[in-house]
Copies of this chain bind each other. A is one copy, B any other.
């Protein structure tokens, strides 16, 4: 069947006794006589011909590749996003180039400059920090970019974001309704976009629902990870005695669960815990974790579709989509402890 040597249009043409133009036409389904079609197809299959992607790209000016750049691919929420993007993009006939930018904004800039090399047709970018310089680069990019996450007003780029302010509101409302008054906030770095907006949401909700507002109810982990969350949660429990903790992240929430368990306190009886992102982890831990679903999968899917749309129609109007958060109540904040998870999701 497939030979092991490289094969080219010219070879096929020679074998079929036609010109390379005819071969190209037949293989691309353009008009050709039955005779030529037959001979070309025969020759092509004899030689196991496969068109060269690079040459084609150079000629048609498209690579059929899309880049996805996320800050921290180790975070489960990015993983689920990646999976969604991967699927949509593949369905659209594109390959996915992965770009792990890491926490350093410089990498994002590097990536953006590198984009002009034209190795992808479009980019989905999920920046942790949005600097002016980044925005400037985004504006003058030669290829379509859709941003996954918040963007300053007036930047004319497709983007899809979660409304985490409302998300925090949902969490605090839920807790306040149970009579929780000392609701703490375990945040990640506040100099990141998610960290900043979630803090804003927390403060607004504390105000709205009239729960305790004390500085010692807020703590900031060095990173949105379990490892960073653990000491932060410990510190929080040391410095205050909350009756609920809402966390910027499921990983941080799991860290809170652990810190609470180490002190012999009970969840949710003594302290309720609410996470954010509603990753798979929320359902794995014990007790299962109440979490604010910011629609990561949906955001990712939407972003990918927006990009495909723009690749198809570069002049389409700019669209900014906001995904509405949903609260997934589970054991870690249930009023009656015996309650089952409210919803079971398949994990794949």
> Which residues from chain A sit less than 8 Å from chain B, CB to CB?
2, 4-6, 48, 50-55, 57-58, 63, 65, 72-74, 76, 79-80, 82-83, 86-87, 90, 95-100, 113-114, 116-119, 140, 142, 223, 225-228, 251, 254, 257-258, 261, 280-281, 283-286, 344-348
Given the known interface contacts A52-B118, A58-B58, A97-B95, the answer about A348 and B140 at a Cβ–Cβ threshold of 8 Å is: no
- Which of the residues B76, B116, B118, B226 comes within 8 Å of A54, measured between beta carbons? B118
User: Which listed residue, B51, B99, B284, B344, touches A281 by the CB 8 Å rule?
Assistant: B284
Contact (Cβ within 8 A) B54 A119: yes
Given contacts A58-B58, A63-B54, A98-B86, contact A74 B286 (CB under 8 A): no
16 contacts between A and B (CB under 8 A): A48-B116, A50-B117, A52-B118, A54-B57, A54-B63, A54-B118, A65-B119, A72-B348, A73-B86, A87-B100, A225-B346, A225-B347, A225-B348, A227-B347, A251-B284, A258-B284
Partner of A2, one of B6, B52, B113: B113
Q: Which 3 A-B pairs have the closest CB atoms?
A: A53-B119, A227-B347, A53-B117
Q: Which of B65, B98, B285, B346 contacts A227 (CB 8 A)?
A: B346
Give A140 to B227 CA distance when docked, in angstroms. Answer: 45
A316 CB to nearest B CB, Å? 19
Min C-beta distance of A196 to chain B, whole Å? 20
Contact B53 A118 (CB under 8 A): yes
Q: Report the bound CA distance from A80 to B283 in whole Å.
A: 20
